[in-house]
Chain A
Amino acid sequence: MTGPLPLKAIADSVRSGARTSVDVATEYLDRIERGAALGAFLAVDRARTLAEAAAVDARVARGEALPLAGVPVAVKDNIHAVGFTTTCASRMLEGFRPPFDATVVEKLRAAGAVVLGKTNLDEFAMGSSTENSAYLVCRNPWATDRIPGGSSGGSAAAVAANLAPAALGSDTGGSIRQPAALTGTVGLKPTYGRVSRFGLVAFGSSLDQVGPMTRRVEDAAMLHDVLSGHDPKDATTSARPHAPTAPHVGDGVRGLRIGLPDEYFGDAVDSEIRASVESAGRALEAAGAVLKRVSLPHTPHAIPTYYIVATSEASSNLARYDGVHYGRRHPEAVDIASLFTGSRSAYLGKEVKRRILLGTWCLSSGFYDAFYDRALRIRSLLKADFDAAFRDVDLVLCPTTPTPAWRLGEKISDPVQMYVADILTGACNLAGIPGLVVPCGTTGQKDTRLPIGAQLLGPAWSESLLLRAGAVIEAACWDPSFVPSFGSAS
């Protein structure tokens, strides 16, 4: 059996007529059915997806040039795709049908991709394990008693188990990169402003970015090139033209200076993970890169800063779920106040409410300066750390998570433990820089091999460099065609 095909091979086969888009979609829809126990998808609509695929076949027949012809893509359920509900894994948005496509979905569809379904996530993308989904437990295909990471856990599980050749995730503090690391997949968090947020349900607006989750680095580059660019509907996108990254994925790293930040290799990080990432570093060195130690001294402040900024913005972004205009309305509401409080109390989950309260507190009169304003000041220090480091090195290589995937239920009752899982990913969003996670090995435990992800961080707009370095690590350390046998695993 040959492994899963790269996206380019799928598109080539559809364009050449070797297979139809409907054939490809059918294959993956069947796989989704067989993998239903993973809880990766919140919405699948076979008829809808096959109709989309048939439309792509018709476009191919008309001779349209479609870079992603017939490529099925799973979409995280906080990103709008017309024809599917967007629930954000929340009871609040149960049955909500968006009247418009997210710009990223519009771009995918224009390029010939087919929406395969909507993937599971932590409610409103708030969480690091996908256990905060109000609907479905999501499992790691490498060990189904373990979490797939989060919040883009459904997208990660779907790609890892090859239920989808590629998926969209969103990353506010690590929500693409951490699940990618825990499931052995590739995840790219682009530079803030590179990809439109229009149609992504907002969590922390100054941090959120949509990015690809794939089996291979070259696939991530291919999707990134389709997703990137200025969007007149999102004032935070950059007008800077996007230079395609896919043609350069194989350019190598000769002469690149790559920094290993001391603060990311501390004792809090599992020794197996440190060793694996260090071996990824040696692979880069062997390919001609120069490794250097660097320091990002404000790293210890990243997590508190991240949680203040993200929850403050979230408290505001989630104010619209009030039961008035859309979403669910509490049936026993008798007046305006009980309509608001009843609906929000009943249909928002515990972690979401915790973060709304935290953020509301941080923005309150009398606390703003001590919390939100101070967090903004530390945010600029974190940014300055990276600026300084990137004067010495081209990229930074570090671990993505302190531990491999943990067991379902292990941390769910301890929010602070859970927040610490983001310790190595949050600074990237605060600094607005791009981050790429590439699998670089597994833990060597006898009973369970769990994937480890290497994280590459670079200055703004350096996605092309990240992808080049990622491809070198992938070639040396990983077999992207390997699919864990989740079905039979204990």
Chain B
Amino acid sequence: MSTTLERWEPVIGLEVHVQLGTATKMFCGCRNLFGAPPNALTCPVCLGLPGALPVPNRRAAELAIRFGLAVGGTIAEVTRFDRKQYFYPDLPKGYQISQDKGPIVTGGTVTTSFFGDGKTIRLIRAHLEEDAGKGQHEESGGSTLVDLNRCGIPLLEIVSAPDLRSAEDAWAYLNELRLTLRTLDISECDMEKGSLRCDVNVSIRPRGTTPFGDRVELKNLNSFRGVERAIRHEIERQAALLEAGGKVELETRLWDDEKGESRLMRKKESAPDYRYFPDPDLPPFAVGRAWVDRVAAEAPELPLKRLERYTSVYGLSDYDAKVLITDPSICRYFEETTALCNDPKNAANWITSELFGLMKGGVSIDDVKVRPTHIAELVALVKDGTLNVRSAREVLAKQYEDPRPAKEWVEKLGLVQVSDRDALVAIVKKGMEMNPKAVADLKAGKEKAAGAIVGYAMKETKGRGNPAILNEILAELLKTF
């Protein structure tokens, strides 16, 4: 702990915006996609043309409800939309449709079970809103171009209580939140694509005291590590200010990750007046019990529930289960493999030790050519004795580059396990003749001595001898040798 943290206790709250994984935008039928040509995914509604009107996306509301249920929040019986008004070129209506007074979710908690020390962080609210477009400043000519593809994509803004006490807490909370959102198919939460964005509020107070200090809002945070760094820097900045007899100003600062420092964006006095008022185009809508129940019924399993199932039903170790669960795409891969081979333990082993060993440099499992069908086939081939583990590993390595079916590789590499009893008996006999000492040791009860003989047999069969059969033959021959 730095000396600063011995004297000062940080108080941190996070505002996280996630894009919801709906097929269409929040208030129109345009596709919700990343990476299309500029302004290809627009219509009169998301362009804010005169006369166009918004119609709410029920699916977005369902995903928000799904989140609310997952964190144990309260789902509003009646939810409504408000207009948040400000002028900006990427905001074609001059206001953003958001929820001020009637958020769809209030309360709830997130517990850092997978990434932290199990601390519980309270949520204040989660509300629906629409994303703005994106401005692109041209290098030459100084003009600004606006792309409105992003405009109108549904967002869920998740506001935590100021319950975080360190940069590590913030990191763990963000990871935990992302795990929940991804596991529940609510959002991709990819910061690089902008589907998860986060602002941080930081204040500090002398340790042992309770009143909150004046807080600073940090914006422009582009990675979870960046959030951690920015918080650490802000804590030191505020401590230095206070220790020099100064005071912390209520302000918003922009984090510069490259320089590792922040700069003033605006003081509190110049904070905009958003003039929120209920959007008259969108009547308040009732979220009935039946709808909530339906959303609950179709929701995927929560990470903690899944952990319990993997350890108790699948018999995986806590560690292995967590490795799978913390990445929902690996988890999906694992589930598919298990469904195909019906052997969760071996599926988990092949994925976490063998496949991971081949994946280098942050490759996503979704981009790997080896698919669950490949893994399931290898598990089955080992189980039925066609391949031994060593050969299966060799096949996997080949498939990683060229994902043809295992059987083709087995044939091409001549890896079919030798289980022909007569042939193996001859080889084992020869091995025994060549290693009289090992035979003597075995007879004397030193089981380890078998290694020399089996090793010889494996060498003779180019590694394809079925180890189980070899051991069986050896045991039999020993009786008469």
Q: Which residues of A contact B (CB under 8 A)?
A: 79-80, 86, 88, 93, 96, 98-100, 102, 197-202, 204-206, 232-236, 312-313, 315-316, 318-322, 324-326, 336, 339-340, 360, 363-365, 368, 372
Contacts and interface: CB of A to CB of B under 8 A. Distances in A.
Contacts of A324: 89, 92, 146
B226 to A, nearest CB: 27
Nearest to B274: A365
A320 B48 CA distance: 7
Given A102-B51, A322-B87, A206 B280 contact: yes
Pairs A-B, 3 closest by C-beta atoms: A319-B94, A206-B280, A205-B280
B44 A320 contact: no
A233 B277 contact: no
Contacts of B51: 79-80, 86, 98, 100, 102, 198-202
Given A234-B281, A320-B93, A365-B275, 18 more contacts: A93-B50, A98-B49, A99-B44, A100-B44, A102-B51, A199-B51, A201-B50, A232-B55, A235-B53, A235-B54, A235-B283, A322-B89, A324-B89, A324-B92, A336-B89, A339-B89, A365-B273, A372-B277
A339 B51 CA distance: 23
A307 to B, nearest CB: 16
B102 to A, nearest CB: 14
Contacts of B89: 322, 324, 336, 339
Contact of B94 (A204, A316, A326): A316
Interface string B71-100: 000000000000101011100111100000
B56 interface: yes
Given A205-B281, A235-B281, A236-B283, A96 B50 contact: yes
Interface in B229-281: 273, 275-277, 280-281
Contacts of A365: 273, 275
Nearest to A204: B280
B282 interface: yes
25 contacts: A86-B51, A102-B51, A201-B51, A202-B281, A234-B53, A235-B55, A235-B281, A235-B282, A236-B281, A236-B283, A312-B277, A315-B275, A316-B83, A316-B275, A318-B94, A319-B93, A319-B94, A320-B50, A325-B47, A325-B146, A336-B88, A363-B276, A364-B273, A365-B273, A372-B277
Q: Summarize A's interface: helix, strand, loop or mixed.
A: loop
A363 B47 contact: no
Interface residues of B, number: 30
B52 interface: yes
Contacts of B273: 364-365
Contacts of B146: 324-325
A326 B94 CA distance: 13
Given A319-B87, A322-B87, A336-B89, A197 B53 contact: yes
Given A202-B50, A205-B281, A233 B55 contact: yes
B130 to A, nearest CB: 14
Given A325-B92, A365-B273, A198 B52 contact: yes
A456 B56 CA distance: 35
Contacts of B280: 204-206, 236, 313
Contacts of B44: 99-100
A336 B143 CA distance: 11
Nearest to B50: A201
Contact of A98 (B50, B54, B283): B50
Contacts of A322: 87, 89, 94
A79 B87 CA distance: 25
Interface in B9-56: 44, 47-56
B275 A360 contact: yes
Contacts of A201: 50-51
B275 A363 contact: yes
Contacts of B92: 320, 324-325
Contacts of A200: 51
A372 B85 CA distance: 15
A364 B51 CA distance: 25
B104 to A, nearest CB: 16
B49 A326 contact: yes
Nearest to A361: B275
A52 to B, nearest CB: 20
A471 to B, nearest CB: 33
Contacts of B282: 235-236
Contact of B95 (A96, A99, A232, A316): A316
Given A319-B94, A360-B275, A233 B53 contact: yes
Contacts of A321: 50
Contact of A99 (B49, B88, B144, B276): B49
A319 B47 contact: no
A236 B280 CA distance: 8
